[in-house]
Structure 1
Amino acid sequence: MSLTTDELKAKAEVYYGDEICHLCTQLLLREAGLPNGLLPLKDLIECGYVQETGFVWLKQSNRVDHIFHSLGRLVSYGTEITGYAEKGRIRKVKGIKTRELMLWVPVEEIALDDDPATGKLVCKSIAGITKTFPASAFHIPEKENNVKANCAALKPVVLMERAPRVVKNS
């Protein structure tokens, strides 16, 4: 069952094909300030972005199971991945699961730690499990053909600003 409808696609910038979708994915991660190796997807067939809401989707031909060797973590990326991209995070994520003990746990949010100096990435699940990892574990050195140069033909991604946190004084 697809989470993207024709009505949603009418409001979005939609791209087709592996190469352009990989460029869009890299541009999205760069603009969000997230590590470039966070979404190691293969054979992308479609991607889209609704600038008004920040909704993004990525469709690939098959599910991809990826091991982040430096963390010893297995992550499964479904055929359709959706979420809302903002500066420093992707929230309401669907289509990404991580292996915890003997269970596959859906990832609901991926965000940079509130203290940017720590360089930590926080992954939250629907089940209430929160894991923190070094953001560098998800970084891949870029090739000589810089992503920025390759993405010059694409429209820049304009992400919604992260809402400030309100701290109540008691």
Structure 2
Amino acid sequence: MASQAIEIHRAGAVVVTGDAACRKKSVELLEELGLPRGLLPMEDIQEFGYNRETGFMWLLQGKKKVEHTFKKIKQTVSYAAEVTAFVENGKLSKITGVKTKELMLWLSVVEVYVPEASPEKVTFKTGTGLSDSFDAAAFALGGNKGSPDETQNGGHAKTSVCLVLKEHTA
């Protein structure tokens, strides 16, 4: 069931259903915003919505939550059944439904952005005000075990990355 925030922004939004279509649209949006394409490696996505006018986006997945470890940076992130954010170029803000594990604590991620001065980095800010920056390559599609591209290509992440590069040069 969608939250009240989603229902408020649903009017005028592009809404897509089905895992494959939702993954495709979410990756396209991340790419359009200048953010890494593998930033939201959610599973069994049932609905993706984006209201361009208000800048609000959401993802609803069938599972209550999914944990994903970004292997290159050894960082575990939890995605709730509902993830929402306001988006703008290079930034996701007012994020709900995303937490990161620091030591033994789960901290809510409230903002993700690519700093203009360091476009090769991605910075994550928590609700406590703590922030950390990582190499953007750690969030590339196919760069993490179990990511959609790697799973579909029989575990060959390098093949996935090459295909993506060819798409950009065509």
* Range of TM-score over shorter length: 0.7 to 0.9
Q: CA deviation at 1:7?
A: 4.1
After TM superposition, list the pairs within 5 Å mapping 1:107-146 onto structure 2.
Answer: 107-116=109-118, 119-141=120-142, 143=160
The match for 1:8 is: 9
The match for 1:101 is: 103
The match for 2:93 is: 91
Q: What is the rounded CA distance, in whole Å, between the counterparts of 2:139 and 2:6 in structure 1?
A: 31
Q: What is the rounded CA distance, in whole Å, between the counterparts of 2:123 and 2:114 in structure 1?
A: 6
The match for 1:43 is: 44
After TM superposition, list the pairs within 5 Å mapping 1:23-102 onto structure 2.
Answer: 23-62=24-63, 63-102=65-104
Q: What is the rounded CA distance, in whole Å, between the counterparts of 1:83 and 1:3 in structure 2?
A: 14
Q: CA deviation at 1:13?
A: 1.1
Contact 1:45 1:59 in 2 (8 A): yes
The match for 1:21 is: 22
> 2:41 aligns to what SS in structure 1?
coil
Q: Where in structure 2 are there 5+ consecutive unaligned residues? A: 143-148, 150-159
Q: Name the structure where helix makes up a greater proportion of residues.
A: 2
Amino acid at match of 1:92: K
Contact 1:59 1:79 in 2 (8 A): yes
Deviations 1:134-160 (A, max 9, x none): 11111125647769x8xxxxxxxxxxx
Amino acid at match of 2:34: G
| Structure with more contact order per residue of length (Cα contacts < 8 Å, sep ≥ 6) | 1
Number of aligned residue pairs: 148
> 2:84 aligns to what SS in structure 1?
strand
Q: What is the rounded CA distance, in whole Å, between the counterparts of 1:123 and 1:48 in structure 2?
A: 23
Q: CA deviation at 1:25?
A: 0.6
Q: CA deviation at 1:3?
A: 4.2
Q: Where in structure 1 are there 5+ consecutive unaligned residues? A: 150-170
Q: What is the rounded CA distance, in whole Å, between the counterparts of 1:107 and 1:7 in structure 2?
A: 22
Query: In angstroms, what is the RMSD of aligned CA positions?
Result: 2.2
Kindly report structure 1 stretches of 4+ aligned residues shifted beyond 2 Å. Answer: 3-8, 140-147
Deviations 1:63-113 (A, max 9, x none): 110011111111001100000111111111100000011110000000002
Identity fraction in percent? 38
Q: What is the rounded CA distance, in whole Å, between the counterparts of 1:35 and 1:67 in structure 2?
A: 16
Deviations 1:18-60 (A, max 9, x none): 1110111110110011111111111000010111111000000
Amino acid at match of 2:43: K
